Amino acid sequence: MSDSPGEPLTFAMGNFIAEFPTDRLYAKNHMWAQRHGEVLRFGFTAYAVRLLQDVYFLDWTVDAGAELPERAEIGQIESKKAESSLYAPIAGRLARFNAELLADPSAINVDKYNGGWLFEMAGDGQQLLTPEQYLEHLAAVWEVTQRTIKGQMNE
Amino acid sequence: MAKRIAVVISQGQSANPAKRQLEEDLVSALLFEPGIDVVVIPHLYDLKPDGTGALALQGIAGNMIVLSWLYERAARWTLDRFGVRGLEGQSLIKSSDEDEDEESEEDAEPNDKTRVIDTRPVPQRRIYCIDLRVHNSAAPYVEEVKRIARENSLQLMPLSLGAALSPTPQQLQRMAQPTNDTALPLPIVQPGAKSPTPPAHLEASASASATLTEAKTPTDSAAQLTRIEESLDRRWYPVIDYSRCTNCMECIDFCLFGVYGVDKAETILVEQPDNCRKGCPACSRVCPENAIIFPQHKAPAIAGASVVADSLKIDLSKLFGAPDSKESAEAIAIRERDEQLLLAGRAAVGATVGLPKRHSDAAPPAPKDELDSLLDALDDADL
């Protein structure tokens, strides 16, 4: 992350300080997006990774090449602390998955903003947020996130 | 006297160190058990139909115990798909309380339908499927394997699935010399012989491929370990539970991707599993008997659970963008199929093709509790 220009923005999740590089855009479902030629490359933000912690298993339920509406279900993830379905952050064509993560998903934890990227999509991504907007979004949803976690833990 | 039993350990796809450790703990513990042979295979569901792992399974002729990260039903019918068949062995380790569920499920429908399983012969050996997600340490599994091994070395095979009945002499005769043509040869153990040499039911698999790595133990009675190493891609296809399937053909009418076919006896089968659309479980939702299993689907009912087991982990799907879902099973199936048709560059058909003749029999929604309110708040929060 030393190659990220400028200081990253930060958000306090309790005692944990999540960092968000300013060289990219963000989606509301806690993924970052960075343009790579024709496509946008997506990965989990520090916020998502903090909630997940160690990722053990990742599976995609669509094939590369699929044209997807926004929020289409695309896969599953299992981590030390959580499990979740995963959804398309934007509408568009899913160009490619990071195949290395299927055998070893640990890069999601150790290199989330670079080698731990998840997939690439072709789409305009107009609704993606700037880092500042994403931080505002985090502040708005932090309460609900905490309630989700606590509520489920008390089940 | 001692009848050997094969213990198959199907490795998980997850890199979860606790899971990996459990698998290895099982191997280590079982290696010291007399009368047991251990076969380690990659994830059962992902095996290639003609690959080393499938051949190894097909080479096991006698009773077997299969430990996998799948619901018992999913494992059993995935094995069936690979041509590995037998009577259902009853393990004391269950991923869910099946008996209670079966009764509640079959309240409306009296159990008088003919199931496909009733019409086909089953090899006279037992297959015990055990879900590795039930316990998080190896000890209970080791105990259960030993119990099953004892059960199988002491008594001859009971023919009833539930209560252990003593077989009649005629039945014993038939087991020794099966009259149906699909029976697999049982390893014949001569009374009085010191111990069977070598584990005959593994020979076929061991010679099936040169890539097997074997660690032969010095004495005949100790375990033989076979590790199948095969690099596999993730697969996605339905497996049919023929103990539920009534051959009603709803699935073949509904699926528009040519996954299903019929055999010479006009019985439904998954003819082209790899035509199946990754992630799509629509046919399972329209099956009136819930006989279609997608072992890797996230919904336990579709993955082969008899009852829904609560996960201990937090579900972050809402935070990660899950859309609302208040659709009926039928509506979801139609939507999922349309999504797959569009992905394949074809036209959506909506409800016009192969609409199931029944209505969704999903349970009415439970009254809302605090968590529901919390989740409703999540829905409204535009995450």
pLDDT in tens, A76-96: 999 988 889 999 999 999 999
For residue B176, give the amino acid letter.
Answer: A
pLDDT in tens, B274-305: 999 999 999 999 998 889 999 999 888 899 98
Residue B163 sits in the same domain as residue B81: yes
Residue B262 sits in the same domain as residue B223: no
Rounded Cα gap, residues B264 and B262, in angstroms: 7
> CB within 8 A of A12, min separation 6: which ones?
A18
- pLDDT at residue B44, rounded to an integer: 97
Nearest to B266 by CA among B282, B252, B284, B283: B252
Nearest to B73 by CA among B213, B192, B238, B228: B238
Q: Which domain holds residue A79?
A: 9-153
Task: Evaluate whether residue B52 is within a structural domain.
Answer: yes
Q: Which residue has the higher pLDDT, B75 or A152?
A: B75
Task: Evaluate whether residue B115 is within a structural domain.
Answer: no
Q: Quote the minimal CA–CA distance from A87 to chain B in Å.
A: 6
CB of B66 closer than 8 Å to CB of B80? no
Asked if A153 and B343 come within 8 Å (Cβ–Cβ), the reply is no
Task: Evaluate whether residue B333 is within a structural domain.
Answer: yes
Asked if A29 and B15 come within 8 Å (Cβ–Cβ), the reply is no
Residue B257 sits in the same domain as residue B333: yes
> CB within 8 A of A34, min separation 6: which ones?
A23, A24, A25, A40, A41
Q: What is the mean pLDDT of chain B?
A: 78
Task: Evaluate whether residue A1 is within a structural domain.
Answer: no
Q: Does B163 touch chain A (CB under 8 A)?
A: no
Task: Evaluate whether residue A17 is within a structural domain.
Answer: yes
pLDDT in tens, B156-179: 544 544 444 455 566 666 655 555
Does pLDDT of B109 surpass 60?
no
Residue B153 sits in the same domain as residue B60: yes
Backbone angles phi, psi at B205, to 5 degrees: -70, -35
Task: Evaluate whether residue B233 is within a structural domain.
Answer: no
| CATH code, domain with A82 | 2.40.50.100
Percentage above 70 pLDDT, chain B: 67
Does pLDDT of B5 surpass 80?
yes
Task: Evaluate whether residue B274 is within a structural domain.
Answer: yes
Task: Evaluate whether residue B234 is within a structural domain.
Answer: no
Residue B73 sits in the same domain as residue B157: yes
Domain termination residue (choose one: B227, B254, B283) = B227
pLDDT in tens, B353-364: 887 554 444 444
Q: Does B318 touch chain A (CB under 8 A)?
A: yes
Task: Evaluate whether residue B111 is within a structural domain.
Answer: no
Task: Evaluate whether residue A3 is within a structural domain.
Answer: no
Residue B51 sits in the same domain as residue B146: yes
Chain A partners within 8 Å of B310 (Cβ)? 155
Residue B249 sits in the same domain as residue B193: no
Domain count for chain A, please give it. 1
Residue B138 sits in the same domain as residue B255: no
Residue B54 sits in the same domain as residue B134: yes
SS3 A5: coil
Nearest to A131 by CA among A6, A23, A13: A23
Burial grade of B263 (CB within 10 A; 0-12, 13-18, 19 or more) = exposed
Q: Does A133 touch chain B (CB under 8 A)?
A: no
Residue B49 sits in the same domain as residue B183: yes
Q: Which residue has the higher pLDDT, B316 or B380?
A: B316
Least confident of B76-80, B106-110, B297-301, B346-350: B106-110
Residue B221 sits in the same domain as residue B243: no
Q: Residue B82: which pLDDT band, with cuts at 50, 70 and 90?
A: very high
Q: Which domain holds residue B299?
A: 239-380
Asked if A73 and B279 come within 8 Å (Cβ–Cβ), the reply is yes
Rounded Cα gap, residues B86 and B117, in angstroms: 11
Q: Does B321 touch chain A (CB under 8 A)?
A: yes
Residue B278 sits in the same domain as residue B170: no
pLDDT in tens, A28-77: 999 999 999 999 999 999 999 999 989 999 999 999 999 999 999 999 99
- pLDDT at residue B153, rounded to an integer: 80
pLDDT in tens, B321-350: 887 666 778 888 999 999 899 888 899 999
Rounded Cα gap, residues A22 and B258, in angstroms: 48
- pLDDT at residue A129, rounded to an integer: 96
Q: Are strands B36-41 and B5-10 parallel, antiparallel or unpaired?
A: parallel
Domain count for chain B, please give it. 2
